[in-house]
Amino acid sequence: MDRFMTAQEIADAAQRLGLSCVPHTKRAVNMRAKREFWEEFEQFARKRSGAVGGGGIEYHVSLLPDAMQSALLGEVSKSVAVTSAAQTRAVEVAKREVLDTTDLTARQRQVMNARSQVLNAIENVQIAEGNTRSRTVGLFIEDTTDFGIDHDILAIANDRGNKTTIHRATILRWFQYGEKAGFSALAQQAT
């Protein structure tokens, strides 16, 4: 990770990440930097340009404790994964909008859209929490309110009257159908 941070940015990150291995104030970070001679390593400490932030020193993340480096790397990785997932979802929504669903009934389209909403909500939480799909589906089964899906959407997605209870295997099967054949596979088949 090729990244330099100011003392304030280091302190803010330590506080945000809940790490005690690095001080949570700019002053304390500067004192630690002085005590550990961070500025003596020319390739790891550099002057910050005055126009951006009033000058000062920036330190390379490799000077920080391993726990802090790992947490920062995890934070960056999570951010990249969330951005990538958002872009993927945007592409999937665009595909769904141009999907030829002329053969589907209004009810089938409604079920397909409700199921895709459920799957998107589960994927959002999966990525944000860093859980496996199976674990996230289990959390969804336990309490759907944390996922932002209301009972009306669940009833439509389940397509079994007003029943809002959806089984784990059913949701995993929806994921499988969607990945293999696209969103149209989520539509309830006409009987």
Round the average pLDDT of the chain to a whole number and report it: 79
Specify whether 133 is located in the same domain as 173. Answer: yes
- The answer to the question of residue 172 being in a domain is yes
- The answer to the question of residue 31 being in a domain is yes
Specify whether 119 is located in the same domain as 173. Answer: yes
Is this prediction's pTM over 0.75?
no
The answer to whether 63 and 41 are in contact (CB under 8 A) is yes
DSSP 70-128: HHHHHHHHHHHHHHHHHHHHHHHHHHHHHS--TTS-HHHHHHHHHHHHHHHHHHHHHHH
Domain edge (last residue) among 28, 49, 69? 69
For residue 191, name the pLDDT band (cuts at 50, 70, 90): very low
- The answer to the question of residue 88 being in a domain is no
Domain edge (last residue) among 49, 69, 89? 69
Specify whether 108 is located in the same domain as 58. Answer: no
Total structural domains within the chain: 2
For residue 110, name the pLDDT band (cuts at 50, 70, 90): confident
- The answer to the question of residue 18 being in a domain is yes
The pLDDT assigned to 91 comes to 67
Specify whether 50 is located in the same domain as 9. Answer: yes
For residue 8, name the pLDDT band (cuts at 50, 70, 90): confident
Specify whether 51 is located in the same domain as 113. Answer: no
- The answer to the question of residue 170 being in a domain is yes
Task: Give the type of residue at 123.
Answer: E
Of 95-99, 127-131, 138-142, give the lowest mean pLDDT range: 95-99
Asked whether the predicted pLDDT for residue 38 surpasses 50, the reply is yes
- The answer to the question of residue 63 being in a domain is yes
**Residue 37 in tokens:** 């001679």
Asked whether the predicted pLDDT for residue 3 surpasses 50, the reply is yes
Q: CA-to-CA distance for 110 and 101, rounded, in angstroms? A: 11
The pLDDT assigned to 100 comes to 54
Specify whether 64 is located in the same domain as 104. Answer: no
- The answer to the question of residue 56 being in a domain is yes
Specify whether 103 is located in the same domain as 165. Answer: yes
Between 9 and 75, whose confidence is greater? 9
pLDDT tens per residue, range 46-99:
887 765 556 688 888 888 888 888 887 877 766 666 666 667 666 665 655 555
**What's the domain range around 26?**
4-69
Quickly count: other Cβ atoms within 10 Å of residue 147's Cβ: 17
The pLDDT assigned to 96 comes to 54
Phi-psi region of 18 (alpha: psi -120 to 50; beta: other; left: phi over 0): left
Beta partners for 58? Answer: 6, 46
Asked whether the predicted pLDDT for residue 177 surpasses 60, the reply is yes
- The answer to the question of residue 53 being in a domain is yes
